[in-house]
Amino acid sequence: MSNIVLGPGPEIPPLTAFVQLGLTAVYEASSLDDFNSAFDSVFAQSLKDITFNGQKLSRDEYKTKIRSQQPLATPASSVTFGGTVTDSTDNNTGNVGAFYNATFLVPLVIGAPPSKQVLQSSLNILVKEDKSLGGVDPRRVFSVDQVAVEQASN
């Protein structure tokens, strides 16, 4: 009987990739179920320290705010990161600062070309291991300080 060699196991993405992939999944979600799943895979259930445009929010209020940034529940056609920085010593957990744009194509009138709406955001978050989770990647966001503005463009 021969031994079956399995690989080293799943690879956990570096901290910046975790943040970029997670935020992209949130903004590009095409259904409410996809959005909820993506949001929950990034933000801890116990997330309490949230400031959005200077206003303190609960996790549920923040989730609603993020979902409402998607015009007419339209998934982002692209999410681009202008920069991401971390102060992590292990490249898995720590503070992360990110600047990103989420671009949405919004159909306003049937037959007319869609309008483009751009969400610009600066985000500072704390990513830690969530001890209540098992699985491959138990990292979640435990603190959020975000500034975001929406701009319409054509």
What are the structural domains of the chain? 15-153 (3.10.450.50)
pTM of the predicted structure, to 2 decimals: 0.84
Residue 25, CB-side half-sphere exposure with 13 Å CA sphere: 17
* Side chain identity, residue 5: V
Q: Determine if residue 145 is left, alpha or beta; phi over 0 gives left, psi from -120 to 50 gives alpha, anything else beta.
A: beta
- The per-residue pLDDT for 88 is 84
- The per-residue pLDDT for 117 is 83
Compare 18 and 4 and report the one with higher pLDDT: 18
**Does the structure show a pLDDT above 50 at 1?**
no
pLDDT per residue as tens digits for the range 87-143: 988 878 999 999 999 988 777 667 777 778 888 999 999 999 998 887 778 899 999
CB 128, CB 49: distance < 8 Å: no
- The per-residue pLDDT for 92 is 87
SS3 51: strand
* Reported confidence tier of residue 144, pLDDT bands at 50, 70, 90: very high
pLDDT per residue as tens digits for the range 21-36: 999 999 988 888 999 9
- The per-residue pLDDT for 9 is 58
* Side chain identity, residue 125: I
- The per-residue pLDDT for 149 is 92
pLDDT per residue as tens digits for the range 34-93: 999 999 999 999 999 999 999 999 999 999 999 888 765 566 678 999 999 999 888 789
